[in-house]
Amino acid sequence: MELLDRYQAVRSLTESLASVLTAEDQVAQSMPDTSPAKWHRAHTTWFFETFLLKACAPDYLELDPAFAFLFNSYYVAAGPRHTRAERGMITRPGIAEVGEYRRHVDQAMAEMLTQPVTAEVAELVELGCNHEQQHQELLLMDIKHLFSLNPIAPAYAPGVVATKECESTPMGWLRFDGGIVSVGHKGSEFCFDNELPQHDVLLQTFELADRLITCGEWIDFIEAGGYENPTHWLSDGWHTAQKNSWEAPEYWRQVDGQWMIFTLAGLRDINPAEPVSHLSYYEADAYAAWAGARLPTEFEWEHGAATADLPHANDTPSFVHPQPAAAGSDESGLRQMFGELWQWTSSSYSPYPGFRAAPGAVGEYNGKFMVNTWVLRGGCVATSPGHVRASYRNFFYPSTRWHFSGLRLARNI
Protein backbone atom coordinates (compact mmCIF):
# COMPACT_ATOMS: atom_id res chain seq x y z
CA MET A 1 0.00 0.00 0.00
CA GLU A 2 2.97 2.30 0.30
CA LEU A 3 3.24 2.34 -3.47
CA LEU A 4 -0.42 3.29 -3.76
CA ASP A 5 0.08 6.10 -1.27
CA ARG A 6 3.04 7.28 -3.24
CA TYR A 7 1.05 7.07 -6.48
CA GLN A 8 -1.89 8.95 -5.07
CA ALA A 9 0.22 11.68 -3.51
CA VAL A 10 1.89 12.44 -6.84
CA ARG A 11 -1.34 12.29 -8.79
CA SER A 12 -3.05 14.51 -6.31
CA LEU A 13 -0.38 17.17 -6.49
CA THR A 14 -0.83 17.45 -10.27
CA GLU A 15 -4.52 18.09 -9.82
CA SER A 16 -3.80 20.57 -7.12
CA LEU A 17 -1.41 22.48 -9.37
CA ALA A 18 -3.97 22.59 -12.17
CA SER A 19 -6.89 23.46 -9.95
CA VAL A 20 -6.23 27.19 -9.95
CA LEU A 21 -6.25 27.30 -13.74
CA THR A 22 -9.36 27.93 -15.81
CA ALA A 23 -10.42 25.76 -18.70
CA GLU A 24 -9.11 28.47 -21.02
CA ASP A 25 -5.72 28.51 -19.28
CA GLN A 26 -5.41 24.76 -19.55
CA VAL A 27 -5.90 24.49 -23.30
CA ALA A 28 -3.43 27.01 -24.71
CA GLN A 29 0.06 26.11 -25.94
CA SER A 30 2.37 29.11 -26.03
CA MET A 31 5.15 27.69 -28.24
CA PRO A 32 6.25 24.32 -29.65
CA ASP A 33 8.43 23.69 -26.57
CA THR A 34 5.54 23.97 -24.16
CA SER A 35 2.35 21.99 -23.70
CA PRO A 36 -1.12 22.84 -22.44
CA ALA A 37 -1.75 22.13 -18.76
CA LYS A 38 -4.58 19.88 -19.83
CA TRP A 39 -2.18 17.90 -21.95
CA HIS A 40 0.23 17.43 -19.06
CA ARG A 41 -2.62 16.06 -16.97
CA ALA A 42 -3.66 13.67 -19.73
CA HIS A 43 -0.22 12.61 -20.92
CA THR A 44 0.94 11.59 -17.44
CA THR A 45 -2.24 9.55 -17.18
CA TRP A 46 -1.58 7.98 -20.58
CA PHE A 47 1.79 6.85 -19.26
CA PHE A 48 0.20 4.75 -16.52
CA GLU A 49 -2.52 3.52 -18.84
CA THR A 50 -0.07 2.48 -21.55
CA PHE A 51 2.81 1.01 -19.62
CA LEU A 52 0.96 -0.37 -16.59
CA LEU A 53 -2.72 -0.97 -17.23
CA LYS A 54 -2.67 -2.04 -20.87
CA ALA A 55 0.50 -4.01 -20.31
CA CYS A 56 -0.29 -5.68 -17.00
CA ALA A 57 -4.00 -5.40 -16.18
CA PRO A 58 -5.76 -7.78 -18.53
CA ASP A 59 -9.25 -6.62 -17.59
CA TYR A 60 -8.57 -2.96 -18.04
CA LEU A 61 -10.95 -1.16 -20.41
CA GLU A 62 -9.72 2.10 -21.83
CA LEU A 63 -11.97 5.13 -21.50
CA ASP A 64 -11.46 6.32 -25.06
CA PRO A 65 -9.21 4.71 -27.65
CA ALA A 66 -8.44 8.11 -29.23
CA PHE A 67 -6.55 9.18 -26.12
CA ALA A 68 -3.67 6.82 -26.87
CA PHE A 69 -3.00 8.82 -30.01
CA LEU A 70 -3.73 12.26 -28.59
CA PHE A 71 -1.65 12.00 -25.44
CA ASN A 72 1.43 10.08 -26.52
CA SER A 73 4.40 12.40 -26.72
CA TYR A 74 7.65 11.22 -28.26
CA TYR A 75 7.39 7.51 -27.60
CA VAL A 76 7.80 6.30 -31.14
CA ALA A 77 7.63 2.66 -30.15
CA ALA A 78 4.30 3.26 -28.41
CA GLY A 79 2.63 4.11 -31.71
CA PRO A 80 1.83 7.20 -33.77
CA ARG A 81 1.22 10.46 -32.00
CA HIS A 82 -0.28 13.88 -32.51
CA THR A 83 1.96 16.68 -33.79
CA ARG A 84 3.72 18.29 -30.87
CA ALA A 85 3.32 21.86 -32.11
CA GLU A 86 -0.45 21.52 -32.41
CA ARG A 87 -1.30 20.40 -28.91
CA GLY A 88 -3.06 23.69 -28.32
CA MET A 89 -5.55 22.86 -31.06
CA ILE A 90 -7.00 19.89 -29.16
CA THR A 91 -9.83 21.71 -27.44
CA ARG A 92 -11.73 18.47 -27.07
CA PRO A 93 -11.54 16.36 -24.94
CA GLY A 94 -11.85 19.25 -22.51
CA ILE A 95 -10.79 19.55 -18.91
CA ALA A 96 -13.86 17.73 -17.70
CA GLU A 97 -13.11 14.70 -19.87
CA VAL A 98 -9.46 14.84 -18.86
CA GLY A 99 -10.49 14.84 -15.22
CA GLU A 100 -12.65 11.84 -15.90
CA TYR A 101 -9.74 10.13 -17.67
CA ARG A 102 -7.53 10.71 -14.66
CA ARG A 103 -10.14 9.28 -12.28
CA HIS A 104 -10.71 6.31 -14.55
CA VAL A 105 -7.03 5.43 -14.61
CA ASP A 106 -6.54 6.22 -10.95
CA GLN A 107 -9.27 3.78 -10.04
CA ALA A 108 -7.76 1.01 -12.13
CA MET A 109 -4.33 1.77 -10.72
CA ALA A 110 -5.74 1.62 -7.20
CA GLU A 111 -7.13 -1.80 -7.92
CA MET A 112 -3.78 -2.92 -9.27
CA LEU A 113 -1.80 -1.48 -6.40
CA THR A 114 -3.95 -2.87 -3.62
CA GLN A 115 -2.73 -6.28 -4.80
CA PRO A 116 0.87 -7.43 -4.47
CA VAL A 117 2.81 -6.42 -7.57
CA THR A 118 5.99 -7.64 -9.19
CA ALA A 119 9.20 -5.70 -8.84
CA GLU A 120 8.93 -4.74 -12.50
CA VAL A 121 5.49 -3.24 -11.98
CA ALA A 122 6.66 -1.40 -8.91
CA GLU A 123 9.53 0.06 -10.88
CA LEU A 124 7.26 1.17 -13.65
CA VAL A 125 4.93 2.83 -11.15
CA GLU A 126 7.87 4.63 -9.62
CA LEU A 127 9.04 5.68 -13.09
CA GLY A 128 5.53 6.94 -13.83
CA CYS A 129 5.49 8.93 -10.60
CA ASN A 130 8.83 10.52 -11.41
CA HIS A 131 7.65 11.17 -14.95
CA GLU A 132 4.59 12.91 -13.58
CA GLN A 133 6.72 14.98 -11.24
CA GLN A 134 8.72 16.18 -14.20
CA HIS A 135 5.50 17.23 -15.86
CA GLN A 136 4.45 19.05 -12.69
CA GLU A 137 7.46 21.28 -13.12
CA LEU A 138 6.82 21.60 -16.84
CA LEU A 139 3.23 22.59 -16.11
CA LEU A 140 4.48 25.48 -13.97
CA MET A 141 7.14 26.48 -16.50
CA ASP A 142 4.64 26.34 -19.33
CA ILE A 143 1.90 28.29 -17.61
CA LYS A 144 4.43 30.94 -16.68
CA HIS A 145 5.43 31.27 -20.30
CA LEU A 146 1.84 31.41 -21.44
CA PHE A 147 0.86 34.06 -18.93
CA SER A 148 3.91 36.11 -19.84
CA LEU A 149 2.45 36.56 -23.34
CA ASN A 150 -0.76 38.00 -21.98
CA PRO A 151 -0.57 41.80 -21.84
CA ILE A 152 -2.47 41.78 -18.55
CA ALA A 153 0.24 39.56 -16.96
CA PRO A 154 -1.96 37.25 -14.90
CA ALA A 155 -0.69 35.63 -11.73
CA TYR A 156 -0.74 31.85 -11.45
CA ALA A 157 -1.11 32.15 -7.69
CA PRO A 158 -1.78 35.70 -6.64
CA GLY A 159 -1.17 35.16 -2.97
CA VAL A 160 2.40 34.03 -3.54
CA VAL A 161 5.14 35.90 -1.77
CA ALA A 162 7.47 36.02 -4.69
CA THR A 163 10.68 36.70 -2.86
CA LYS A 164 11.98 36.76 0.66
CA GLU A 165 13.07 40.14 1.88
CA CYS A 166 16.77 39.68 1.97
CA GLU A 167 20.03 41.51 1.52
CA SER A 168 22.60 40.36 -0.96
CA THR A 169 25.57 38.59 0.59
CA PRO A 170 29.11 38.43 -0.83
CA MET A 171 30.06 35.54 -3.07
CA GLY A 172 32.83 33.30 -1.76
CA TRP A 173 34.79 30.46 -3.37
CA LEU A 174 35.15 26.91 -2.10
CA ARG A 175 38.05 24.74 -3.17
CA PHE A 176 37.84 21.07 -4.17
CA ASP A 177 40.91 18.95 -4.72
CA GLY A 178 41.33 16.99 -7.89
CA GLY A 179 41.58 13.22 -8.17
CA ILE A 180 39.46 10.26 -9.13
CA VAL A 181 35.89 10.61 -7.88
CA SER A 182 32.83 8.49 -8.36
CA VAL A 183 29.85 10.02 -10.10
CA GLY A 184 26.38 8.82 -11.01
CA HIS A 185 23.60 7.48 -8.86
CA LYS A 186 24.54 5.47 -5.80
CA GLY A 187 22.25 3.29 -3.77
CA SER A 188 19.06 1.45 -4.54
CA GLU A 189 16.50 4.23 -4.66
CA PHE A 190 14.91 5.32 -7.89
CA CYS A 191 16.94 7.15 -10.47
CA PHE A 192 16.64 7.74 -14.20
CA ASP A 193 18.65 5.62 -16.61
CA ASN A 194 20.79 8.62 -17.57
CA GLU A 195 22.30 8.74 -14.03
CA LEU A 196 23.81 5.31 -14.52
CA PRO A 197 26.19 3.55 -14.46
CA GLN A 198 27.96 4.96 -11.49
CA HIS A 199 31.56 5.39 -12.67
CA ASP A 200 34.85 7.09 -11.92
CA VAL A 201 36.02 10.32 -13.44
CA LEU A 202 39.23 12.26 -13.00
CA LEU A 203 38.84 15.84 -11.80
CA GLN A 204 41.45 18.56 -11.60
CA THR A 205 41.46 20.86 -8.61
CA PHE A 206 38.77 23.54 -8.96
CA GLU A 207 36.72 26.11 -7.06
CA LEU A 208 32.97 26.63 -6.94
CA ALA A 209 31.20 29.85 -6.05
CA ASP A 210 29.29 29.43 -2.83
CA ARG A 211 26.09 30.99 -4.14
CA LEU A 212 24.27 31.77 -7.38
CA ILE A 213 24.75 34.95 -9.38
CA THR A 214 22.15 37.55 -8.37
CA CYS A 215 19.91 39.88 -10.33
CA GLY A 216 21.94 42.77 -9.04
CA GLU A 217 25.09 41.28 -10.49
CA TRP A 218 23.29 40.66 -13.74
CA ILE A 219 22.30 44.31 -13.93
CA ASP A 220 26.01 45.10 -13.65
CA PHE A 221 26.62 42.84 -16.62
CA ILE A 222 23.90 44.57 -18.64
CA GLU A 223 25.20 47.99 -17.75
CA ALA A 224 28.72 46.95 -18.70
CA GLY A 225 27.42 46.29 -22.23
CA GLY A 226 27.10 42.56 -21.77
CA TYR A 227 24.38 42.25 -24.41
CA GLU A 228 25.99 44.72 -26.82
CA ASN A 229 29.48 43.33 -27.22
CA PRO A 230 30.27 39.93 -28.77
CA THR A 231 33.65 39.61 -27.09
CA HIS A 232 32.56 37.26 -24.32
CA TRP A 233 29.95 35.32 -26.20
CA LEU A 234 30.09 32.00 -27.95
CA SER A 235 29.50 32.52 -31.65
CA ASP A 236 26.15 30.68 -31.63
CA GLY A 237 25.18 32.55 -28.50
CA TRP A 238 25.81 35.93 -30.00
CA HIS A 239 23.82 35.12 -33.12
CA THR A 240 20.93 33.81 -31.05
CA ALA A 241 20.96 36.90 -28.84
CA GLN A 242 21.01 39.22 -31.84
CA LYS A 243 18.34 37.35 -33.74
CA ASN A 244 15.99 37.40 -30.76
CA SER A 245 16.93 40.92 -29.65
CA TRP A 246 17.85 39.71 -26.18
CA GLU A 247 18.70 42.55 -23.82
CA ALA A 248 18.06 40.80 -20.52
CA PRO A 249 17.01 37.38 -19.19
CA GLU A 250 13.61 36.02 -20.13
CA TYR A 251 10.76 37.67 -18.23
CA TRP A 252 12.67 40.86 -17.47
CA ARG A 253 10.95 44.03 -18.66
CA GLN A 254 12.08 47.59 -18.51
CA VAL A 255 9.24 49.83 -17.34
CA ASP A 256 9.98 53.54 -17.07
CA GLY A 257 13.70 52.85 -16.88
CA GLN A 258 13.35 50.25 -14.08
CA TRP A 259 13.79 46.51 -14.47
CA MET A 260 10.74 44.53 -13.50
CA ILE A 261 10.28 40.78 -13.56
CA PHE A 262 7.35 38.62 -14.50
CA THR A 263 6.81 35.83 -11.97
CA LEU A 264 4.15 33.26 -11.20
CA ALA A 265 2.77 35.92 -8.88
CA GLY A 266 2.62 38.50 -11.68
CA LEU A 267 4.80 41.45 -12.56
CA ARG A 268 6.85 43.09 -9.81
CA ASP A 269 10.09 44.94 -9.10
CA ILE A 270 13.31 43.00 -9.24
CA ASN A 271 15.03 42.23 -5.95
CA PRO A 272 18.78 42.62 -6.59
CA ALA A 273 19.55 39.96 -4.00
CA GLU A 274 17.53 37.19 -5.60
CA PRO A 275 19.32 34.82 -7.95
CA VAL A 276 19.00 35.62 -11.65
CA SER A 277 16.82 33.10 -13.45
CA HIS A 278 15.58 32.09 -16.89
CA LEU A 279 18.99 32.27 -18.49
CA SER A 280 20.02 30.50 -21.64
CA TYR A 281 23.27 28.57 -21.59
CA TYR A 282 24.65 31.24 -23.90
CA GLU A 283 23.98 34.02 -21.43
CA ALA A 284 25.33 32.02 -18.51
CA ASP A 285 28.51 31.26 -20.44
CA ALA A 286 28.94 34.86 -21.58
CA TYR A 287 28.57 36.13 -18.02
CA ALA A 288 31.11 33.63 -16.74
CA ALA A 289 33.60 34.66 -19.44
CA TRP A 290 33.00 38.32 -18.67
CA ALA A 291 33.57 37.62 -14.97
CA GLY A 292 36.86 35.81 -15.68
CA ALA A 293 35.44 32.50 -14.57
CA ARG A 294 33.68 29.57 -16.22
CA LEU A 295 30.76 27.19 -15.74
CA PRO A 296 31.39 24.05 -13.70
CA THR A 297 31.34 20.67 -15.41
CA GLU A 298 28.50 18.46 -14.32
CA PHE A 299 30.95 16.28 -12.40
CA GLU A 300 32.52 19.20 -10.60
CA TRP A 301 29.04 20.25 -9.59
CA GLU A 302 28.08 16.76 -8.49
CA HIS A 303 31.29 16.36 -6.53
CA GLY A 304 30.76 19.68 -4.80
CA ALA A 305 27.13 18.88 -4.08
CA ALA A 306 28.18 15.97 -1.89
CA THR A 307 29.18 18.60 0.66
CA ALA A 308 25.85 20.41 0.59
CA ASP A 309 22.65 19.57 2.39
CA LEU A 310 20.24 17.54 0.35
CA PRO A 311 16.76 18.97 0.22
CA HIS A 312 14.29 17.34 2.55
CA ALA A 313 12.29 14.79 0.67
CA ASN A 314 9.28 15.32 2.88
CA ASP A 315 8.96 19.03 2.32
CA THR A 316 5.30 19.78 2.01
CA PRO A 317 4.22 20.35 -1.55
CA SER A 318 3.09 23.87 -0.88
CA PHE A 319 4.36 25.77 -3.90
CA VAL A 320 3.71 28.95 -2.05
CA HIS A 321 7.08 30.24 -3.15
CA PRO A 322 7.69 29.52 -6.82
CA GLN A 323 10.42 32.11 -7.14
CA PRO A 324 14.01 31.56 -6.07
CA ALA A 325 15.13 33.16 -2.86
CA ALA A 326 18.24 35.14 -2.04
CA ALA A 327 21.06 33.21 -0.43
CA GLY A 328 20.90 33.36 3.33
CA SER A 329 23.84 34.91 5.12
CA ASP A 330 23.70 32.49 7.99
CA GLU A 331 24.54 29.44 5.93
CA SER A 332 28.01 28.12 5.39
CA GLY A 333 29.49 25.96 2.62
CA LEU A 334 27.77 25.81 -0.75
CA ARG A 335 24.53 27.73 -0.60
CA GLN A 336 21.58 27.41 -3.02
CA MET A 337 22.75 24.09 -4.43
CA PHE A 338 19.32 22.44 -4.36
CA GLY A 339 15.82 23.53 -5.04
CA GLU A 340 16.41 27.14 -6.00
CA LEU A 341 17.44 27.17 -9.67
CA TRP A 342 18.71 24.63 -12.15
CA GLN A 343 22.37 25.44 -12.68
CA TRP A 344 23.92 25.31 -16.12
CA THR A 345 27.01 23.13 -16.41
CA SER A 346 29.56 23.15 -19.24
CA SER A 347 28.83 19.47 -19.94
CA SER A 348 26.95 18.38 -22.99
CA TYR A 349 24.30 15.81 -22.19
CA SER A 350 25.95 12.52 -23.12
CA PRO A 351 25.60 8.89 -22.16
CA TYR A 352 27.71 7.66 -19.27
CA PRO A 353 30.16 4.90 -20.20
CA GLY A 354 28.12 1.74 -20.47
CA PHE A 355 24.78 3.56 -20.53
CA ARG A 356 21.88 1.33 -21.47
CA ALA A 357 18.36 2.55 -22.09
CA ALA A 358 15.53 0.45 -20.73
CA PRO A 359 14.15 -1.92 -23.38
CA GLY A 360 10.94 -0.94 -25.21
CA ALA A 361 9.07 2.31 -25.33
CA VAL A 362 9.94 3.51 -21.80
CA GLY A 363 13.56 3.34 -22.92
CA GLU A 364 12.92 6.30 -25.21
CA TYR A 365 12.87 8.45 -22.15
CA ASN A 366 16.33 9.98 -22.10
CA GLY A 367 18.87 8.57 -24.51
CA LYS A 368 17.41 9.96 -27.69
CA PHE A 369 18.01 13.51 -26.51
CA MET A 370 21.74 13.01 -25.97
CA VAL A 371 22.94 15.51 -28.55
CA ASN A 372 22.79 19.30 -28.71
CA THR A 373 21.57 19.65 -25.12
CA TRP A 374 23.50 20.71 -22.05
CA VAL A 375 23.22 19.47 -18.47
CA LEU A 376 21.72 21.44 -15.58
CA ARG A 377 21.87 20.33 -11.99
CA GLY A 378 20.22 21.06 -8.66
CA GLY A 379 16.48 21.36 -9.13
CA CYS A 380 14.49 24.54 -8.69
CA VAL A 381 11.62 26.11 -6.80
CA ALA A 382 9.18 24.53 -9.24
CA THR A 383 10.59 21.04 -8.86
CA SER A 384 8.33 18.68 -7.01
CA PRO A 385 9.23 17.76 -3.44
CA GLY A 386 11.58 14.80 -3.22
CA HIS A 387 12.40 14.97 -6.92
CA VAL A 388 15.94 16.25 -6.52
CA ARG A 389 19.25 14.54 -5.85
CA ALA A 390 22.93 15.21 -6.50
CA SER A 391 23.14 12.87 -9.49
CA TYR A 392 20.01 14.19 -11.21
CA ARG A 393 20.67 15.35 -14.77
CA ASN A 394 18.30 17.83 -16.31
CA PHE A 395 19.00 18.99 -19.88
CA PHE A 396 17.93 21.74 -22.26
CA TYR A 397 19.11 23.26 -25.51
CA PRO A 398 21.58 26.13 -25.01
CA SER A 399 19.10 28.56 -26.54
CA THR A 400 15.98 28.01 -24.41
CA ARG A 401 15.04 30.13 -21.43
CA TRP A 402 11.61 29.22 -20.15
CA HIS A 403 13.06 26.93 -17.48
CA PHE A 404 14.08 28.11 -14.01
CA SER A 405 17.78 28.21 -14.84
CA GLY A 406 20.50 30.13 -13.06
CA LEU A 407 24.23 30.36 -12.84
CA ARG A 408 26.93 29.30 -10.41
CA LEU A 409 30.52 30.13 -11.33
CA ALA A 410 33.55 27.85 -11.21
CA ARG A 411 37.22 28.45 -11.81
CA ASN A 412 40.56 26.69 -12.08
CA ILE A 413 43.27 27.04 -9.51
Binding-site ranges for a second copy (CB under 8 A):
22-28, 30, 38, 66, 69-70, 74, 76-77, 82, 86, 88-95, 146-147, 149-152, 154, 180, 199-202, 204, 230-231, 233-237, 281-282, 285, 294, 346-348, 350-351, 353-354, 368-372, 374, 398, 412
CB atoms within 10 A of CB 315: 12
Contact 38, 95 (CB under 8 A): yes
Least distance CB 20 / a second copy (angstroms): 12
Alpha carbon distance 19, 352 (integer Å)? 39
Residues with Cβ < 8 Å from 199, sequence gap 6 or more? 182, 183, 184, 352, 353, 354
- Which run of H or of E encompasses 267? strand 266-269
Contact 213, 275 (CB under 8 A): yes
Nearer CB in complex with a second copy: 146/265? 146
Of 177, 22, 37, nearest in space to 102 by CA: 37
CA distances from 129 to 4, 8, 47, 102, 383 (A): 11, 9, 10, 14, 13
Scored b (16 or more CB within 10 A) or e, 48-78 reads bbbbbbebebeebebbeeebbebbbbebeeb
Alpha carbon distance 178, 204 (integer Å)? 4
Note the residue count of the chain: 413
What DSSP letter does each residue of 63-75 carry, written as one string? S-THHHHHS--S-
Alpha carbon distance 37, 203 (integer Å)? 42
Helical ranges in 19-64 per DSSP H:
23-27, 37-48, 54-56
Of 127, 44, 64, nearest in space to 360 by CA: 127
**How buried is residue 243: exposed, middle or buried, by Cβ count under 10 Å (0-12/13-18/19+)?**
exposed
Beta strands, E only, 49-186: 173-176, 179-183
Of 397, 270, 288, 377, nearest in space to 324 by CA: 270
Nearer CB in complex with a second copy: 45/214? 45
Alpha carbon distance 251, 365 (integer Å)? 30
Least distance CB 167 / a second copy (angstroms): 35
